[in-house]
Structure formats: C-alpha cells, structure tokens
A and B are shown apart, each in its own frame.
Chain A
Amino acid sequence: RKEVEQDPGPFNVPEGATVAFNCTYSNSASQSFFWYRQDCRKEPKLLMSVYSSGNEDGRFTAQLNRASQYISLLIRDSKLSDSATYLCVVNTPMEYGNKLVFGAGTILRVKS
C-alpha cells in the first residue's frame, strides 16, 4: 500500500463549482497533516494544515479522520486561479525526526 494515496484526476470543473479531493495514508503513527498546492514546475506551497475537528480557510475546508486514516479537502466556488495540483502531505515519524510524505497529487482544472 502506498504511504499516501490520492486520486490523480484531473478534475475538470466550471468556475463556481464545488470540488472535493480525498486522500488516504498508511502510517497510523503520522502526526500532522497538510494540503499543499503546486503550480506547474514550482515549489509546493502550504495551503492549510488539517485537524481532526475540521478546519476552514475561506473557500477551503479540510477534514481528517484518524480512525479511517483519511483526509479530505473541499473547495467551494472554484476560481480559475485554483487550477493547480493539490498535494496531500503527511508528516511521518522516523527514528530521530520526521519527514513529509507526499501524495502524487490531484490535478484540478477550473474552466470558465
């Protein structure tokens, strides 16, 4: 089983649509969880951290279910500028420190 698994998409949606991305992770010892956004050939940029209680930042809502090892991201009222690859990222403990484990990403294309 992959450490972090995402539906690769692409998701092609019209402006204004609501779109949801899902992610599962395999290491139950993972401690913190994030969604990053990556534009073509650019660095990953932190979109938001994900908490068990669920958290919202404007049009973006993230949810974590530790029992199912499942993470989600909901984007409401999609904008053209939301077009990017969305990376599910899990901070996973190693022997002496942590590392971020990245999913392969879900491609979102928002069209007018």
Chain B
Amino acid sequence: EPEVTQTPSHQVTQMGQEVILRCVPISNHLYFYWYRQILGQKVEFLVSFYNNEISEKSEIFDDQFSVERPDGSNFTLKIRSTKLEDSAMYFCASTPRDSYGYTFGSGTRLTVV
C-alpha cells in the first residue's frame, strides 16, 4: 500500500534554531498538507498546498513557518526560529482530491529545548 514518508522520526532542537521537516507524499497525489498534534491535544491543521502554492493556512502558520516542494517528490516544512511551544508531532498528509480522506505519514516528533 502506498505510504507517505516522513523524516526524521524525531528531532531535538534548541530554541531559536531552524528546523526542516521532510515528507515524501504518495506519488500520484496532488494535495499536500501539514498538521500538528501537541501532546495530549487534538490534531490541528497548519497548511495545505496545491499546484505548487499554499492554498490555505491556519492562524498557527505564521511568518516563522514556510513550506516548499523543492522537487517533484519532496514536501518540506521549515520553522525558522523554533519556540518551546512548537514542540509537537508534525504530520504530513496527501490526497488525490481535496474532499477525500487523507493518508498521513508516521510523523516527526519535534522537541524544542
């Protein structure tokens, strides 16, 4: 079964440092997303990406965040200057159509110290 692949599985970083979380969506999917889940809380939408541009973003996705699809397969989330409250599981997801259920990657656990 096709998978969404995320790397690394766990990242520890110092406050103020930049991090890049990487994702390889399913190859024939057109819509890509980042969600996050703070420990013990619900999954929250960050950003959606279609046709090489952001289509929607949440209030969480401020100027510290950016996404990129640098080539035909990778989809990255960059946090420019991490804060303690950025500590969470970050899930990448993709879908062939925006109204379908998504396939999520196994997540990157980001710990900011």
- Which residues of A pack against B, CB within 8 Å? 31-32, 34, 36, 41-46, 49, 87, 89, 91, 94-105
B contacts with A: majority SS: strand
Known: A42-B106, A97-B55. A105 touches B42 (CB 8 A): yes
Beta-carbon contact of B50 and A46 below 8 Å: no
Beta-carbon contact of B42 and A103 below 8 Å: yes
23 residue pairs from A and B, CB less than 8 Å apart:
A32-B99, A42-B106, A43-B91, A44-B43, A46-B102, A49-B101, A89-B101, A91-B98, A94-B56, A95-B56, A96-B56, A97-B56, A97-B98, A98-B48, A98-B99, A99-B33, A99-B48, A99-B58, A100-B93, A101-B45, A102-B42, A103-B42, A104-B42
Beta-carbon contact of A45 and B104 below 8 Å: yes
Q: In the assembled complex, how far is the CB of residue B38 from the closest CB belonging to chain A, in whole angstroms?
A: 12
Picked from B43, B99, B106, B109, the residue with its CB within 8 Å of the CB of A91 is B99
Chain A residues with CB under 8 Å of B102's CB are 46, 100
Complex CA gap A93/B45 in Å reads 13
Q: Does B25 contact A (CB under 8 A)?
A: no
Beta-carbon contact of B43 and A102 below 8 Å: yes
Q: In the assembled complex, how far is the CB of residue A65 from the closest CB belonging to chain B, in whole angstroms?
A: 19
